[in-house]
Every structure is written in structure tokens, then in C-alpha cells.
Amino acid sequence: MNVELQPIAQKVHTGQRLDAADARALFASEDIWAIGRLADTVRRRMHGDTTYYNVNRHFNYSNVCALSCKFCDFYRKRNEAGAYEFSTDDARDQARRAREAGATELHVVGGLHPYLPFSYYTDMLRAIKDEYPQLHVKAFTAVEVVHLARIDKRPNDLEGVLRDLQDAGLGSLPGGGAEVFDDRCHDEAYKGKIRSDKWLEVHDAAHRLGLMSNATILYGHIESVDDRINHLLMLRDAQDRAIDNGWPGRFQTVIPLPFIPGESALKHLPGPTGLGDLKMLAICRLVLDNFDHVKTFWIMQTLELSQLALQFGVDDIDGTVVWYDITKVKRDGSTHQETTAGELRRTIVEAGFAPVERDTLYRRVERDGPAWRVVETEPAGAV
């Protein structure tokens, strides 16, 4: 191991928290194998050789968006070719298909639609839960929650909005929309979107209400290494806040998202590399010591890299997915992006890990075809 990593290794082996200087040294190091081994040490301390996966479906209810984020290849303006908004019946249909496939989770997100009323979102949740009550609905990024509060003319009542969504069937919040918590990046690439303070305010409110949530970081575009580090430290502080205050909710997992240039306004940028992805995942594992899980979203990381990432601190792969419109793996731009539980298990076993199907709250799932039940144990994770 290179000498600059030795004090960090000492901290990792004695369970001490890493600081910004440590994170900077990790990013500066080219010793990717040493970084991987350190992340693997932490991952095995927390989860042994268990690797989680889930049987889920994603549902993007509309791509119409008031914003024009430069990294985004998904949004359309209302009357533009390709713009869509699904109905409540479409959402019900998604739930029916999820039931038939035995999915445990529906991940629902969309653009900031300028005209749909608040009732569209609560009706959608009710229709899904009515059709398939067992299904966990993980829905609406913090950005959407703030948008819903605005369209319902109560911009300062985030808790009230979340409570109404919860009453209609919301199960937890996904981690999207965080991008990179930095004002320069915000103003250059996603102006008009909420800033870090609001994103964190929504997640704090969710955690106070007992909703679990996730966190993302979108990397490999115009951000600097220091921007990445600040973002991770802000997430770690927010998790400390939830834990120290004894709030009933908290972050479950971090999902580092590599920028996919696609046809976005930043398509001239090269995007991250495979080694850059592995380093980022490993550093997330090492810095976010109060997060139980580090997850790859294979739609963005690819399943092949996700397999390797299991040795770089990752303990979870999302998911069977099925339909996904925000980024595309294949060059043909197809939104049908599906893998099977069998393929996920094979990927995990071949890498030398033990696959465990989980539900959204990281409880073990026992399955008999499309029928499934949660095995009642404490949520997995060692924090």
C-alpha cells in the first residue's frame, strides 16, 4: 500500500471516522486496489458476504418538466414531441403488472410537471395501493416534493405535504435530485432546481415523520473532487442529525450515479470511467460510515461493473427495473431495461457473494414465484 494511504488504513482498521483530508488523499491516490480493499474491509464488517438485490419496477409518470437541467436527457416541454403524462389508470396498470411479476417495490418519479394538481399525485398513490396493497411505493424525489408543496400553495409546509402523501400510500423517498451540493455546479448545470439546503430539509422532514429515504450523488460532469467530498460530508452530517435526534426515519443507502452524457446539453463531456466509478463507490463506503448500504443502479453503472463493484464496498444492486426512461443503457434508447432476479443472483454468486432478496426496507424476502413475504427480522445493516 502506498504510504499516503497508510494513516487512512489505520483509521479504517480502528473504526475511526475519515475527514475531508482523508477523502482528498483517497481521490488523489492511484492505488485503486488498496482503496478497494479498505472499502471491502468495511463492507464485510457490516454485511459479511451478503449482497442485496430487489425485485422492483420503475415508473416514470411524466417527462414534462419545468426545469431544463443540462445533464438531463429525459425532460420534454409540454407540447414537444415525445412529451407524455400517464394517467391514474396507467399507474393502476403498473401496479397490476408489478403484482403479476411479484415485485416488492414500485419506484415512481417524474419531471416537475407545471400543470398537474396535487390530487394527481395522491390519486396515483391510492390507485397503486388499491390495486396491490403489499407493494412498497418509493416515490418522489425531494425536488418533486418541494414542487408539490408549491403547486398546492403551501411551500413552507413540507411536513404536511409528506404526511398527505404518506396517508395516500407513500412508503419512502428515493434519493434522486441531489446532484452535487454545490452552488457553482447548481448555477451552471441545474439552475432553478432546489439547492442543497432544501433537498436536505425535505429529507430531514421525512426522517422526522418516520419515512426512510435514500441519497444520491451525480458525479463525473462539471464538479470538482472537493465538491464531491463536501456533498458526502453534508450527507453524513444529515444522517448524524437523524440518528442523534432519534428521528424514526433515516437514510438507508447511498447510490452514486455516474453522469451519462446521452443527448444532454453536457453531451460533449466524456463522463466517468470504470476505474473512476469503482473509486467513487469505494470512497462513498469509506466516508459514509453512518450509512448502512452502498448501492449500484446497474442501469447507470452496468451490471458488469456492478459485479466488480461488490469488491469495492457495494452491498446492494438495484433491481429488476423493467422500464426506465431517465437514462438508457443501450444505444438504441429503449426504455425497456430489465434484468431478472435469476440474473442478479448469478451475477452476485459468480463474484463470490451471497445473494439476499430484500424489500425496500432491507428486510429479507422469502419468495415462491410471484408470491412473497417479508421474513420478520431487524432491517439488515450494522450501523
- For the window 266-305, what string marks contact with ligand V47 as x by the rule CB under 6 A? -------------------------------x--x-----
- Residues 6+ positions from 31 with CB-CB distance below 8 Å: 1, 2, 5
Among 214, 260, 233, 249, CA closest to 54: 214
Q: Which of residues 344-383 bind ligand V47 (CB under 6 A)?
A: none
Q: What is the DSSP letter of 223?
A: -
Report the residue from 102, 262, 274, 276 that binds ligand V47 according to the rule CB under 6 A: 262
- Of the two residues 18 and 202, which places its CB atom closer to ligand V47 in the complex? 202
> Does 255 contact ligand V47 by CB under 6 A?
yes
Pairing of strands 212-219, 251-258: parallel
* Dihedral pair phi/psi, residue 348, rounded to 5°: -70, -45
Report the residue from 164, 179, 223, 277 that binds ligand V47 according to the rule CB under 6 A: 179
d(CA 300, CA 247): 32
Residue written as grid cell 450527507: 235
Listed in order, strand segments (DSSP E) in 158-286 are 170-173, 212-219, 251-258
Report the residue from 54, 63, 141, 239 that binds ligand V47 according to the rule CB under 6 A: 141
- Of the two residues 38 and 55, which places its CB atom closer to ligand V47 in the complex? 55
Report the residue from 230, 327, 337, 339 that binds ligand V47 according to the rule CB under 6 A: 327
**In contact, 99 and 79? CB cutoff 8 Å:** no
Q: Which stretch binds ligand V47 (CB under 6 A): 6-14, 68-76, 151-159, 369-377?
A: 68-76
Q: Which stretch binds ligand V47 (CB under 6 A): 2-10, 85-93, 158-166, 251-259?
A: 251-259
> Does 199 contact ligand V47 by CB under 6 A?
no
Q: What percent of the chain is helix, strand and coil (3-state, nearest 5)?
A: 40, 20, 40
- Residues in contact with ligand V47, counted by CB under 6 A, come to a total of 23
Residues that bind ligand V47 (CB under 6 A): 71-73, 141, 174-177, 179, 214, 216, 218, 255, 257, 259-260, 262, 264, 297, 300, 318, 326-327
